[in-house]
Amino acid sequence: MRTHVKLVSRAELQGRGRSRSHGRHEAIVPVEVQILNAFTGESSFSITAQSSWSISNLRSEIARLRQVVLSSGSELRLLMDTKILKDNELLKNLCATGELELRMLEVPEDFYVRYFAKMVVGGGRDQEFQEFEFCSNGRFRFARNFLQGGFFEGKQLRKECFLSQASLRVLKGLVLKSGILQMDDSQWPAPTRESRQEIEIKCQGIHVVFATKLHWSLPHIDAGRKCAHVREMSEFDELAEEIKGFGKSILNFFGIPRSS
C-alpha cells in the first residue's frame, strides 16, 4: 500500500500566532497534514502539526496514523521523491516549507525466502549450484555456477536487483498457498553429498528450513502411493518450481539462460 502525505501551511489562512518564550517571540505556524490515497488522490485523514514540534511529536503522531493507514506489523518509511528522509531532514523540511509532499511506504513484516540446490557432477570432482534469495526490503539475489552447457560454461553468475512490494506480495501468496509453513519433513529423503536442495522461509513470525535431496522423478504423482509425507513432498517440489519460476522471470531482464 502506498499513500501520500501532503503538508500544507495554514499560516496565510489563520495568521501567525505568537508566543513569548524566555523574552523572545517565536512564530507558531499550524501545518495541516493530509493523508492522501496514492491512487485516487482523495484525502483520507488529516492532522494539525506545529512548526515548533519536535521530531518525537511528529513521529508519535505518524505512529498513531500508521495504526489506521497501514496493516498490522508493517513498518513506516517517509520519502521525498525517492530519498528516505532522516529525522532531522524531515523536521527541517516540515518547518522550512509551507507545502511539502511526502510518501508513506508500507514495508512488510520480516519476510524472507531462499531456495538453494546443488548436485555433484564429473564423478564427484565438481558441484553445480543455484540459489534464489528474496528479502523483505525488496532485494533479490541470484547466484549460479555453470559447469556445463553453452556460453556460460565454467562461469559463476551473480545478479542482484530490488523488487517492488507488490512483487513480494505475489511471492508471499505463493508461499502461503503452498502450506509449507505447516509441513513435517521428518520422513523426507535426507540430503546427500551429491544431491541437496533447501527452502528457507520467514513469514508471519514463523521461520522454517527444509532440506532434502533433489528429485529427478516424482513417484508421488502415482495415485496409489499418496502417503501423507509423499503428498507433502509433492507440495515442496511445487513450491520449489514456483520460486525458481518467479526468480527466472526476473532474470529474463538480464538475459540469463532459463535452464533448470
Per-residue pLDDT of the chain (260 residues), as tens digits, is: 444 444 434 443 344 444 444 444 444 455 555 544 444 445 555 556 665 666 567 667 766 665 555 444 444 444 444 344 454 455 455 444 444 444 444 445 688 999 999 887 666 667 788 999 999 888 999 998 866 555 556 678 889 988 888 888 899 999 998 888 888 888 888 888 888 999 999 988 889 999 988 865 444 434 434 445 556 677 888 899 999 999 999 888 766 555 54
Q: How far is Cα 61 from Cα 48, in angstroms, rounded to an integer?
A: 10
Residue 140: burial class (beta carbons within 10 Å; 0-12, 13-18, 19+): buried
Locus of grid cell 534469495: 133
Q: What pLDDT score does 238 carry?
A: 87
Q: What pLDDT score does 137 carry?
A: 85
Q: Hey, what domains does the chain have and what are their CATH numbers?
A: 2-107 (no CATH), 112-254 (3.30.1560.10)
Sign of CA dihedral 152, 158, 161, 165: positive
Helix (H) or strand (E) segment spanning residue 207: strand 206-212
Q: How far is Cα 66 from Cα 181, in angstroms, rounded to an integer?
A: 28
Number of residues assigned to the chain: 260
Residue 142's nearest CA partner among 152, 214, 150 is 152
For the chain, where are the alpha helices, taking DSSP H only? 11-14, 55-69, 87-96, 165-178, 228-251
Residue 33's nearest CA partner among 51, 7, 59, 66 is 7
Global pTM reads 0.55
Phi–psi pair at 191, nearest 5 degrees: -65, 155
Torsion of Cα atoms, 35 then 38 then 43 then 49, to 10° = 20
> How many CB atoms within 10 Å of residue 178?
19
Q: How far is Cα 128 from Cα 121, in angstroms, rounded to an integer?
A: 7
241 CB contacts (<8 Å, ≥6 apart)? none
Q: How far is Cα 61 from Cα 57, in angstroms, rounded to an integer?
A: 6
